[in-house]
Amino acid sequence: MTIQFKPDETFRDEFRYANSDAAVLRFPFPFPEDAYMYSVNIEPHVPGGATPAFDNPFDVDEHYVAECRERARVLEQDPSRCKVLPHMMAAQWDTLELIMESLATSYPAHFTLTREGISWTWENRPLGIRDSFTFGDASTLPLPPFEYITRQAQGDFTLQDQRDDNLFIDAGMVTTQADWSLDFDVGMSFHQWHGPVPLAHQKGVFDRALKFLLRLQYGAPVRRLNWTMTVNPRLDTSPENYPQWGPDRTTLTAENIGQKLHLRVELQSLFRLPRSNAILFGIRCYLCSIEDLARVELWGKRLHRVLRDLHPEIADYKGTTRFREMAVAYLAPFDDGADLPVGTAPRQDTLPPTALPLGR
């Protein structure tokens, strides 16, 4: 499969970003029901799902080149967005191997990995990269292994070291995060990292998730979806850069909210690594405007209901309080109140040029 990339897209300043119809239809819409509440919601990370976004271990789409360029730009401005504690070298090589093997298998038209013992050659044609190196010898790569390969993948990554019946975030490449800081969180335990999340702790969500992840097996990765909302198609919504993106929320109006407000979905995947026994946590970010989402009839109706009925504490934590009523009002004409099936598959193969109001 050959992907047509959009290298001139930008995720800041003028925001030259748009989803093709195919990209809209492959969006990993996160709401299988009309109401939302925190849950563990983990399933096996195997090929197949509601959209093609779930078909491969690491998804590559039309935004790949532009997103990798944005990552390089963030790292140039703030190198601390990639941090690896010294004891995580084996996990670095595990990560490099997993991502290289996966991309070369899933997208052979774009990536090639050639191995002769420990002599490896990696070719990334979309980014114009070709490097030969000795597996296990970091001096033969232009960058440390974890940084080298995660610069060439969409989404963020953290490495969780397992010790003392807990998981610790001891490495990360984080440039597309939804308002959390790797610099602050590195070294934290599982519950410390998730401390700010409301309601979920009382419901035991993180206790159950940790118990499950401590037993995660090599060769049996899992996935889940998480979501928030972002004004403008901005990938870097880090606390460090809040002065750049925080004021965006004040720019929404009833006239522009459809185009400017984006549902931000994270396809989170977890892989047990073979040598280090660490867990690679992939946080693949997708952005889609609510205007485009409303072109998918099921999604427009369901997003209206989820936002309308969202628990106030969750709405506040997700940062939607300022604009939620405006978003609900925008989406209301696309919801006729009809019963919807459980699930997230779009149930249509083509999109209308614009979302069609349905009335009530």
In a domain, 360, yes or no: no
CA–CA separation, 170 and 190 (whole Å)? 11
Calpha distance 62→81 (Å, rounded): 24
- Let me know if residue 11 belongs to a domain: no
Give me the pLDDT at residue 200, please.
53
How confident is the model at residue 282, as a pLDDT?
98
pLDDT of residue 225: 96
Specify if 99 maps to a domain.
Answer: yes
List of the chain residues with pLDDT < 50? 360
Helix (H, G, I), strand (E, B) or coil at 226: strand
| Paired sense of beta strands 261-272 and 222-231, if any | antiparallel
Per-residue pLDDT reduced to its tens digit, 160-205 = 999 999 999 999 999 998 888 888 888 888 888 776 666 655 666 7
Domain range for 39? 21-334
Measured in degrees and rounded to the nearest 5, phi and psi for residue 283 equal -125, 85
Q: Give the tokens for residue 12.
A: 């800041």
Q: Is residue 45 part of a domain?
A: yes
The amino acid that residue 261 corresponds to is L
CB-based contact 159:280 (threshold 8 Å): yes
- Global pTM reads 0.95
Domain assignment of residue 134, yes or no: yes
In the residue annotation, 224 being an active-site residue is answered as yes
Domains of the chain: total: 1
Residue from 69, 73, 224, 308 carrying the catalytic annotation:
224
Tokens (6 digits) for 101: 């093997």
Is residue 350, in this structure, part of any structural domain at all? no
Residues in the chain: 360
* Residue 30, in any domain of the structure: yes
Q: What confidence tens digit (pLDDT) does each residue in 268-302 have? A: 999 999 999 999 999 999 999 999 999 999 999 99
- Are 270 and 216 in contact by the 8 Å Cβ rule? The answer is yes
Give a yes or no: residue 150 inside a domain: yes
